[in-house]
Amino acid sequence: MPEGYNSAWHEPVRGYIAGGTSIGRVRVVQRPFTEYQRHQFAWSIPGNIEAGEDIRILDLTELELDLPSHDFWLFDDEIVVDLNFSPDGTLINLDQRENPDLLMYRKWRDTALAHAVPFNEFNART
């Protein structure tokens, strides 16, 4: 891994954390893992955690949960941005939702958090 890998993300995260803002995510995966997911496990996620993010993994290989098929961000419990990816994991676009069903997005977030495990625990299992 090159020195300073992903520092453009780590620097603001450290600033947010120092200012009292929390940043967390649940990375939803299913086996077999893609090359992109393996890259995230090895390169991206450990550095993001070191910078202060709370990253959890939800492995849906043997679980069936009422979750959307797309990724999303939920900012301050009020702002929703859907993330759309290609099958190989490449980000296609971001779509900030106007008048989203906040109760549904919060339910999806809570469901994901309830079934996810901290990355270090997940990584130790795999």
Residue 5 lies in a domain: no
Residue 116 lies in a domain: yes
What is the helix (H) or strand (E) element at residue 102, kind and residue range? helix 102-115
Residue 98 lies in a domain: yes
Q: What are phi and psi of 117, to 5 degrees?
A: -125, 150
The pLDDT-based confidence of 120 (bands split at 50, 70, 90) is very high
Residue 13 lies in a domain: no
Q: How far apart are CA 103 and CA 97, in angstroms?
A: 14
Per-residue pLDDT, 126: 81
Q: Is residue 90 scored above 90 in pLDDT?
A: no
More confidently predicted of 2 and 23: 23
pLDDT in tens, 101-116: 999 999 999 999 999 9
Q: How far apart are CA 10 and CA 96, in angstroms?
A: 23
More confidently predicted of 121 and 90: 121
Domain limits for position 106: 22-125
Q: How far apart are CA 11 and CA 116, in angstroms?
A: 26
Residue 10 lies in a domain: no
The pLDDT-based confidence of 7 (bands split at 50, 70, 90) is very high
pLDDT in tens, 25-78: 999 999 999 888 999 999 999 999 999 999 999 999 999 999 998 899 999 999
- The DSSP 8-state label assigned to residue 33 in this structure reads P
Domain count, the chain: 1
Residue 4 lies in a domain: no
Per-residue pLDDT, 85: 86
